[in-house]
Chains A and B, each alone.
Chain A
Amino acid sequence: MPVTGQRERGTRMDKIARIDMGAAGGPKVTVGDLGEYAGLGGRAMTSLMVAAEVHPLAHALGAENKLVISPGMLSGTTGSMTGRLSVGCKSPLTGTIKESNAGGQAAQVLARLGYAAVVLEGKPEGDDLYKILINKDGIQVIVDNSLKLMDNYPLVEKLRGEYGDKVAYMTIGSAGERKLLAASIACTDPELRPTRHCGRGGVGAVMGAKRVKAIIIDDAGMKMRPPKEPEKYRDANRKFVEGLRKHPVTGEGLPAYGTNILTNVLNEAGGYPSYNFKGGQFAGSNNLSGETQAALEIERGGTATHGCHRGCVIQCSGVYNDKDGHYLTKQPEYETVWAHGGHCGIDDLDTVAHLDFLDDNIGVDTIEIGVTIGIAMDAGIIEFGDKEGAIRLVEEIQKGTPLGRVLGSGAAITGKVFGVERVPVVKDQALSAYDPRAIQGIGVTYATSTQGADHTAGYAIATNILKVGGDVDPLKTEGQIELSRNLQIATAAIDSTGMCLFIAFAIMDQPETFQALLDMLGSFHGITMTGDDVVALGKKVLSAERDFNTRAGFTKHHDRLPRFFYNEPIAPHNQTFMMKDEELDEVFNW
C-alpha cells in the first residue's frame, strides 16, 4: 500500500520537516524528500520512522527520542472522515513505541501544506520555551517564554490573538511542560477549542521535553491535495458518505448519542468496570448514559451532534453546556465518562464534564487520569463517589504539587506510590471502559497490543470482509486469538489512512462501503487497492512496532493482564479472565 513515485511540490504531501530542537545555535529546520517513507502517512509513518530512527533504549524524555507528527494518507483531501492526525514516539508512560491519534483540524491543514511528517528531534539546553509556526512560506521556530505554564484554553486564546482563527493549533498544557507521563497534545477543533487530544502514552511530555509549547499550522494560500484520478475519487467518496449515512451506527446512533451510547450497553453486559474494577456494573449508569447526556446537552442549548473536524459526516461529538447554558466542554466520550464516572463511583454528568474540561485544559489523557483518580480512591486518599474530591485531585495536577505530579504520572505510578494492589494497567498504560473478564476478547488486545492497554488497538475493522488470516469461526473459543490478531492488523492499517476509526461499522457491514474506501485510497494515488494491500500495510506497521518493543526489552511476559483479572471474578457473571498465556503468545505469530 505505500505509494512511491514522482510527486510535484505544492499541495502534494511530499516532504518531511525535521526540527532539531537541540541544534547548536538554536533550533534548526531541515525540509527533505520522503525517501524511504514515501507513500506513508498516519501511524504507518510515525511507527516506521520511530522504529527505524529512535534508539529503543533511549530515554523517552531525552534528546534521542523523536516526536513524529503525521497526517493520514488521505488527510487534506476532499475525502470525508480523513482528519486524523498521528503522533508517534517512544512513550515515557509505557516504554514501548507509541502512536496516539486525534481529530481536530491539524491533520487537514498540515497535509495541505505538503508535510507528510513534521519531526521534533533533539532537546534544547536551557529552559526557553518555543512555538513553531508552519505556513506556506516555511517553518519558523520562535522563543516565546510568555507562554510558560499556560494551560490549553487560555493558551489557545492568547495564540488566536496573534495568529487568528484560520489556523490549527497543537498545544501542550502545564502537564506537558512538566513532563507528566499522562500528558497529551491538544489539537483544536473547527471552533478553535483545544478539545481533541492525542491522549495516550504521554506524548505531551515528549513535546514538553523538547520545549515546544505550541505548533501553529496555517494553510492560507494552499489548496486541497488533488487526487490522481479526481472523478473516481469524487465518486468513491460519494459512495463512502452514502454508506456512512445509511448505517444505523454511523448514520444514527453515533450522531445522536456519541460514543457514550455504550454506557448503558456495557453496563447491561456486565462489562462496565466500577469502583476501580471491583464490579461489572454501576447503579448510577443511567445518570451517565449517552441518552441522558444527549438530552441534557440539547436542553441546555448545547448540541449532541458535532464534528471534531470539517469533513466529518458522522459527527459523534457535541457541546456540553453548564447549568446556565455556557460552554463547559466538548461532549465527553464514553471512556472519559466511564473513567471519571462509574470507575470512581461518580454518577453526575456535570462533575464528569468539569473533569473533562480540566483534563483538556491541563492537557492530560482523560482515560489515564480518570483511572488514576479511582486508584487514589482505592488508596483512601478520597472516598469513592467524592465529586468535589475528584475535582480537587485534578486541580492538584494543574498546580503541579507533589501529589499532582504523582497523579499526573498515571495509574501505574500512583498505584506504586500508594501501595494499591489492584492497578488496571498493561505495560503501565491504564485499561479502558471494558472489563476483560466479561468481554474476554478485548482482554487479548489489551494484553498483546504494542501500545500498552488500548481499547482501540484492535477495533472492529471489517476483518470479516478483509479475511485477514482466512476465515475464522467466531463461535469457537480459539477464534478469539485470531480475531484479536486480525483486528489489530486492520486497525494499524486504518490508523495510517487518516480515517476516523468510527467508520468501522459501515465498512464492516456494507461491502460496497468498504470497496468505496479502497477506491478512495486507490484513485487518490492512481493505483488499484485491494484488501490484501490493507492487510500487508497493517502487518508491516505492527511488525515494526513489535520489533521496536522487543529491542526495548519487552518480552511475552509483558503481554499479560494484571493478576487480579485472573484471580478476582466480578459480578454479575462471576467470571475471571480465562485466556491462557500460551494462547496470548500466539497473537503475533503470523
Chain B
Amino acid sequence: MQHTILDQSDVVPGLEAVALHLDSDQLSSFFPLLQKGVTVPAMVGCTLRSLLSDQLAIPGDYVTERITTIFLDNRPVDDLDRTIVRDRSRVTLSAAMPGLVGATVRRGGFYAALRQGISHVAGSGAASGESGMVRLKLFNLMLAELGPLILARGLILEQGELELLLKSLSCKPVGTSTNTGQVLLTVLFSELEDIF
C-alpha cells in the first residue's frame, strides 16, 4: 500500500489531494466511513438522476434496478428526475430492504402511501448547476458495489479524519497541512473486480 500527494487543486481549488493505492482486501476498511457518510465534490442544482448517472458514473440500469431505496435529507425519494440535489444535500443510497417499512420506503413502491408526510416532494425548484458538495451515505450492498467508484472519484475529509484513517490502514501520516483543514482523498484498489 502507498500514498502520494498530488496537486489536484484544479479539481477542488484550495484542497490538497492525497491518493491511496491499496489492495482490494482493504476496501472493507472504508465501510464504516461510507456508512456514516462522506462529503464528495459535485455539481449541484442538478437532478438526482444526473448526480448518480452523469457525475458519479453509476450505470443507468444499476440505478434503476439496484438502488431501490434513496433518501434525500431524510426523505424517501420516488422520482429521480424531479428531485433536485442542492449544495450540502445528504444523499443516501441503499438496496431493497426487508420488512414492511423496508417495502414502504422503497422508491415508487406499492406501499409508499404508508410513509405519508415524510416522502420527498418531487419537482420543487429548477435545475441550475454550480459546484458544491454533497454528503453521500452508502448502506448495505451499496458499500462494496459503489464504494470503489466513490473512493476513486474522491472525497473530502478533515485533516484529522484522514490521519485517523491512515492510522487504521497502517499507512504513514501524510504530514501536510492545508489552509482549509481539508484534503481530497482518492483511493484506488488493485485487482478489484469491476462489477459494472
Q: Which residues from chain A sit less than 8 Å from chain B, CB to CB?
A: 247-249, 252-254, 256-257, 259, 261-262, 264-266, 268-271, 281, 286, 289-292, 295, 316, 334, 434, 438-442, 444-445, 455, 458-460, 463-464, 472-477, 479-480, 483-484, 487, 502, 504-505, 508, 572-573, 575, 578
Contact = CB atoms under 8 A, between A and B. Distances in A.
Given A269-B105, A292-B35, A479-B113, A460 B141 contact: no
A268 B97 contact: no
Contacts of A475: 112-113
Contacts of A291: 31, 35, 139-140, 143
B25 to A, nearest CB: 13
A317 B173 CA distance: 40
A444 B28 CA distance: 40
Given A253-B95, A265-B69, A440 B115 contact: yes
Contacts of B101: 262, 265-266, 269, 271, 434, 439, 442
B113 A460 contact: no
28 contacts: A248-B95, A249-B95, A253-B96, A256-B141, A259-B98, A262-B99, A264-B94, A265-B139, A268-B94, A268-B139, A269-B105, A289-B35, A292-B32, A292-B35, A295-B28, A316-B98, A434-B101, A439-B114, A440-B116, A441-B116, A442-B100, A458-B100, A459-B99, A460-B111, A475-B112, A476-B113, A573-B74, A573-B117
Residue of A249, A460, A464, A476 with highest tally of chain B CB at under 10 A? A460
B115 A474 contact: no
Contacts of A295: 28, 31
Given A442-B114, A445-B100, 17 more contacts: A249-B97, A256-B140, A264-B140, A265-B97, A268-B74, A270-B74, A286-B35, A291-B140, A439-B104, A439-B105, A440-B117, A441-B100, A441-B115, A475-B113, A483-B113, A484-B114, A505-B102
A463 B68 CA distance: 19
Given A441-B114, A575-B118, A262 B97 contact: yes
A474 B111 contact: yes
A441 B104 contact: yes
Contacts of B97: 249, 253, 261-262, 265
B71 A474 contact: no
A262 B116 contact: no
B188 interface: no
Contact of A269 (B74, B109, B137): B74
Given A249-B97, A270-B74, A442-B100, A265 B113 contact: no
A5 B194 CA distance: 57
B123 to A, nearest CB: 14
A505 B101 CA distance: 12
B98 A254 contact: yes
Contacts of A249: 95-98, 102
A374 B11 CA distance: 48
B146 interface: no
Given A248-B96, A253-B140, A483 B118 contact: no
Nearest to B90: A268
Contacts of B167: none
B36 interface: yes
B110 interface: yes
B21 interface: no
Contacts of B76: 269
Interface string B55-95: 00000000000101101001010000000000000001011
Contact of A441 (B71, B98, B102, B113): B113
B96 A438 contact: no
Nearest to A463: B110
Given A265-B105, A286-B36, A474 B100 contact: no
A567 to B, nearest CB: 16
Nearest to B112: A474
The 7 closest A-B pairs by CB, nearest first: A441-B114, A460-B103, A479-B113, A464-B110, A474-B113, A460-B100, A264-B139
Contacts, number: 161
Contact of B140 (A290, A460, A487, A505): A290
Contacts of B113: 441, 472-477, 479-480, 483
Nearest to B76: A269
A511 to B, nearest CB: 13
Nearest to B37: A286
A573 B71 CA distance: 13
Interface string B122-148: 000000000000000101110100000
B116 A477 contact: yes
A334 B98 CA distance: 11
A578 B113 CA distance: 13
B105 A487 contact: no
A22 B12 CA distance: 80
Given A249-B97, A459-B100, A505-B103, A269 B35 contact: no
A55 B32 CA distance: 54
A460 B111 CA distance: 8
B141 A455 contact: no
A253 B98 contact: yes
A460 B102 contact: yes
B35 A441 contact: no
Contacts of A575: 117-118
A132 B65 CA distance: 51
Nearest to A247: B96
Contacts of B114: 439-442, 444, 480, 483-484
A292 B31 CA distance: 9
Nearest to A443: B114
Interface string B148-178: 0000000000000000000000000000000
Nearest to B118: A573
A484 B118 CA distance: 18
B102 A270 contact: no
Nearest to A266: B101
Residue of B31, B69, B109, B111 with highest tally of chain A CB at under 10 A? B111
Given A460-B103, A505-B98, A441 B118 contact: no
Contacts of A271: 101, 118
A491 B94 CA distance: 26
A286 B139 contact: no
A438 B118 contact: yes
A281 B68 CA distance: 22
Contacts of A268: 71, 74, 92, 94, 137, 139
Nearest to A576: B117
Contacts of A261: 97-98, 139-140
B115 A439 contact: yes
A297 to B, nearest CB: 13
Nearest to A474: B113
A165 B111 CA distance: 44
Contact of A252 (B32, B95, B102): B95
Nearest to A271: B101
